[in-house]
Structure 1
Amino acid sequence: MATLEPLDPSQLPEPVDVSDNSRALSMVKEVIDQGPFEDTWSSLSEYRVPRWYRDAKFGIFLHWGVFSVPAFGSEWYSRHMYLEGSREFDHHRAEFGDQKHFGYKDFIPSFTMKDFDPDEWANLFRRAGAQFVMPVAEHHDGFAMYDTDRSRWSAARMGPGRDVFGELMAAVDRSWLIRGASSHRAEHWFFMNGGAKFDSDVLDQRYVDFYGPAQREEVAPNERYLEDWLLRTVEVIDKYRPQVLWFDWWIEQPAFEPYLRKLAAYYYNRAAEWGREVVINYKEKAFKLGSAVYDIERGAMGSINPEVWQNDTSVSRNSWCWIDGQDYKSAPGIVAELADVVSKNGVLLLNIGPKADGTIADEERDLLEKIGSYLTRNGEAIYGTRPWKISSEGPTDRPSGSFVDQSEPAYTSEDIRFTTRHDAAGEYVYAIVLAPVADGSVRIRALGTGSGLMTMSVQSVSVLGVSEEPKWSQAWDGLEVDLPSDQSDLFGPVVKVVLAPDGSSA
């Protein structure tokens, strides 16, 4: 059995009184009333996705929190440890004892983040090629990673005893990246309800402000909870000014609808005051089309989407937070996922899970460094691009929808994703090959004269990151490119094709 020091109730900070929200709600209404956005879907539909986000293509997500102390199962440990019959329930009793005497709260003293170095983290994310950073502000467990005035249960007052969220945001600024924040607070309404079904510390009145309502999923959240959700989110907006705000799925519950409109109008109006362009990410149908950016969890589109969208996924298949026994994806698989997303007008938000001591696992560092190395060489085909006429060619299908990343497609050198860009010098098409090329040449069928896609002639062909000009020829059935010898044995090459109007010199 593990020996961890449980929480000492005598050392708890004093509870925070949030019974009267009238003044804070009046402030929210005042910001909404001042415009330019009203809290109506018709007004919010006037929102436009900023160019910086369309160009960014790649961000880092972070699931960090108390759940990294038990490091078992997933970031849902705080729920599953109270569900009789689950692996986590049995594991908890075997390792830590009865949930009445050692509950989830008792992991907090061991969540120290003693080796947390925010500037080192931000520099790693910058080397990885990320353009924005999205730490979890509060997960379903109700433990805030930021300095909140609405709860004593936060990293600023307990565990690390510091505003780790704020420190990371400041480091992100220093690295010239963009701040983001995710809120998973909505799900806290029901998240610990398993512990209300037997004699556990969830029923201890001393900790009710942590374990939350612990209500049944079938019961809609009441107005007081919804107001608290709104004001906690407003607090994150005003204290930290994130330019991306991400929400998990449960906000699609009908009870949240008027509060979502208020939140979006408030955020967009605050951003107008700051002179910043911002993004809200949502799942399912929580927001009306065009009022925010649609997000697919561990997902993919089947084809080019007319509106920019986002895929949030993780370096691990089996957990978003740090656990023992991660099932990691490969660096080439993540790069292929990035290329697939970008070719279909999407942005990839890639998650890592730091440890309880504030360090990032070597395996996750290695993945980020490899992705960064690839983007240093081939980023021209990713950043600032737009979808081409088609997104892809090749024999390997990638399933569309949510939760489709549990296995890695066996891509071949015939599997290609396309992006494009325009500037004063001309139009470019990038053919991103998703696997190393074994025989020294690649045939790009979409760029053949018989594809029906080539309304402009090929002016020149090059391979990104290679100074040597390749030999190439265009035929009815494809563009054949002989690759230089110094190709990566890990990633496929990226072929850059410069197009010229018909009649121009080739």
Structure 2
Amino acid sequence: MKKTFPYVAAMLMLAQTLVAQQHSEQNHDKYVMPSDPQVKQKLGQWQNVKFGLLMHWGVYSQWGIVESWSLCPEDEGWCERRGPYKDNWYEYKKAYENLKNTFNPTQFAPEKWAAAAKNAGMKYVVFTTKHHDGFCMFDTKQTDYKITKSPFGSNPRSNVAKEVFGAFRKEGFMVGAYFSKPDWHTDDYWWSYFPPKDRNPSYHPKKYPQKWESFKKFTYNQIEELMSDYGKMDILWLDGGWVRPFSSIDTTVSWQKAIPFDQDIDMARIAKRSRELQPGLLVVDRTVSGEFENYVTPEHQIPDHYMSIPWETCMTMGDSWSYIPKENFKSARKLIHILSDIVSKNGNLLLNIAPSPEGDFHAEAYQRLEEIGKWIKVNGEAIYETRGDNEIGIQGKWRFTHKGADVTYAIYLADEGESLPTGLEIDRLTLGKTAKITLLGSTEALRWTSKEGKTAIQISEKSAKKIPGSYAYVFKITK
């Protein structure tokens, strides 16, 4: 992920726009549906669960700064350095990497996260095992730059990724490992012989093929560890889309034009070995269209239309991917509207919450999860195991999902303070005489009339008063 330092609101808004452009601008016409039957089955399962949790957590949490990007020597808002040695990149990098020596999240209790996420209706998790800075939240054998070599290393739960995956798996979650393909700590990517100029390797891989082969081996070995030693895995979620074969660059996409040379890490070999260890594994090589991007992942953006291919919006609950002391969390109403909008367009929502350096969420994040969960308990059948609507379409405050050919869910996105209206109309919906419309949360059949493709739903004042105020009202239409 990439974004700016979060303390200046105007800069944040600008950076999030730029970030979304870099991660979302993609030609989806090049999507390739997997052919492996086990992968296809897993993809269908993933499309049914709809709502997931993403977590960015690492040494950067201690400074309350952007994840990894302050190390990157690029003149971009999200790379801005703050804090100690901000005017000297070499000293700053040394201080940043020394954060390993103070990282000690003694409040770490992944069961608490898993319980709160499950109560909110989330059904899959993607945890950051390693971000671009190279700090590993798992006990890799490939480097000592890892949490088990921090002060937390003496804790019996110091292999954090294993603990997180285990806790969520026990709650029935699909489990995914976020892994950064670029690694700015290893000398095989940012070779100390040449200072880095940007996010790319500090050397030309074609000129130094042995160095690049060493990096490929390092990457392969780390992913093999994650697929071997951390239990059943459902998703390998790869970030850092500039690490890709040069032949895969789409010159119609602005950010990809800046990739200077081939960075092929042999995804075919990685995927083959990963699926030998984890049959049916979903591989998500973000923004690299083709057989190793089993679903697409627009970042901080929601398409304005239905997409038939498998897709997921990844988005922050607050403003930042990483922990900041004072976060600006989206309201429960907004988050429920976002979820409903995404699902109506045939996608999933992967919502990011960042743990603190001590190892817990903001209290307000737990509050949001609880509020979402209350809505989901009443209305979840309109979300799970549904598919988006490509016929009725978006109509003002209405969003629509389907279960098979006979059940449509009409989700009315209520404004702040808006009570359930006593009369509502849906266009492009023609019903037969035996159709039934109910409001989720009530068993009472509602009166309706249908004429020339318009369906008018009547809710009596008595019935409306029985339904408590809600962020979104869901009508179940059985044909």
After TM superposition, give the deviation of residue 394 of structure 1 in Å: 2.8
Aligned counterparts of 2:73 and 2:364: Cα–Cα separation in 1: 27
Aligned counterparts of 2:229 and 2:238: Cα–Cα separation in 1: 18
After TM superposition, give the deviation of residue 300 of structure 1 in Å: 1.8
Corresponding position: 1:459 with 2:435: yes
Contact 1:81-1:89 at 8 Å conserved across structures: no
Which residue in 2 is equivalent to 1:105? 97
Which residue in 1 is equivalent to 2:476? 496
Which residue in 1 is equivalent to 2:275? 268
Q: Percent identity at matched positions?
A: 23
Which residue in 2 is equivalent to 1:16? none
When Rg is computed on C-alpha atoms for both structures, the one with the higher figure is 1
Which residue in 1 is equivalent to 2:60? 67
Deviations 1:354-408 (A, max 9, x none): 000011111111111111111111100000011234363234xxxxxxxxxxxxx
Which residue in 2 is equivalent to 1:306? 308
Letter in 2 for 1:168: V
CA separation of 1:219/1:432 partners in 2, compared to 1, >3 Å: closer, same or farther? farther
The within-5 A match list for 1:45-84 is 45-46=35-36, 47-50=39-42, 51-72=44-65, 74-79=66-71
Which residue in 1 is equivalent to 2:400? 418
Other structure's SS at 1:383 match: coil
Contact 1:190-1:214 at 8 Å conserved across structures: no
**Which of residues 170, 175, 200 is equivalent to 2:171?**
175
After TM superposition, give the deviation of residue 442 of structure 1 in Å: 4.7
The within-5 A match list for 1:353-368 is 353-368=354-369
Which residue in 2 is equivalent to 1:278? 281
Corresponding position: 1:440 with 2:421: yes
Contact 1:392-1:418 at 8 Å conserved across structures: yes
CA separation of 1:81/1:370 partners in 2, compared to 1, >3 Å: closer, same or farther? farther
Which residue in 2 is equivalent to 1:411? none
Letter in 1 for 2:353: I
Root-mean-square deviation (CA, aligned residues, Å) is 3.6
Deviations 1:66-96 (A, max 9, x none): 1100003x21354259979988534333899
Contact 2:188-2:214 at 8 Å conserved across structures: no
Letter in 1 for 2:102: S
Which residue in 2 is equivalent to 1:373? 374
Contact 1:282-1:295 at 8 Å conserved across structures: no
Aligned counterparts of 2:90 and 2:46: Cα–Cα separation in 1: 47
Structure 2, unpaired ranges of 5+: 1-30, 247-261
Which residue in 2 is equivalent to 1:412? none
Deviations 1:330-371 (A, max 9, x none): 211111111121112211111100000011111111111111
After TM superposition, give the deviation of residue 281 of structure 1 in Å: 2.1
Deviations 1:192-222 (A, max 9, x none): 9999799xxx99xxxxxxxxx9844976782
Which residue in 2 is equivalent to 1:408? none
CA separation of 1:86/1:297 partners in 2, compared to 1, >3 Å: closer, same or farther? closer
CA separation of 1:75/1:186 partners in 2, compared to 1, >3 Å: closer, same or farther? same
CA separation of 1:479/1:219 partners in 2, compared to 1, >3 Å: closer, same or farther? farther
CA separation of 1:214/1:472 partners in 2, compared to 1, >3 Å: closer, same or farther? closer
Deviations 1:456-498 (A, max 9, x none): 5552111112244434333443332316224443502011111
Deviations 1:83-119 (A, max 9, x none): 7998853433389999269610222233211011121
CA separation of 1:442/1:365 partners in 2, compared to 1, >3 Å: closer, same or farther? farther
**Which of residues 135, 143, 150 is equivalent to 1:151?**
143
After TM superposition, give the deviation of residue 55 of structure 1 in Å: 0.9
CA separation of 1:290/1:138 partners in 2, compared to 1, >3 Å: closer, same or farther? closer
Give the structure-1-normalised TM-score. 0.73
After TM superposition, give the deviation of residue 128 of structure 1 in Å: 1.3
Aligned counterparts of 2:204 and 2:458: Cα–Cα separation in 1: 59
Farther off after superposition, 62-71 or 385-394: 385-394
Which residue in 2 is equivalent to 1:206? none
Aligned counterparts of 2:237 and 2:347: Cα–Cα separation in 1: 15
Aligned counterparts of 1:91 and 1:104: Cα–Cα separation in 2: 10
Contact 1:127-1:372 at 8 Å conserved across structures: yes
Contact 2:401-2:408 at 8 Å conserved across structures: yes
Give the structure-2-normalised TM-score. 0.76
Aligned counterparts of 1:66 and 1:89: Cα–Cα separation in 2: 15
Contact 1:54-1:384 at 8 Å conserved across structures: yes
Q: What is the aligned length?
A: 414
Which residue in 2 is equivalent to 1:223? 213
Deviations 1:10-65 (A, max 9, x none): xxxxxxxxxxxxxxxxxxxxxxxxxxxxxxx9996445252321211111101011
Deviations 1:394-439 (A, max 9, x none): 34xxxxxxxxxxxxxxxxxxx11111113xxx82100111224446
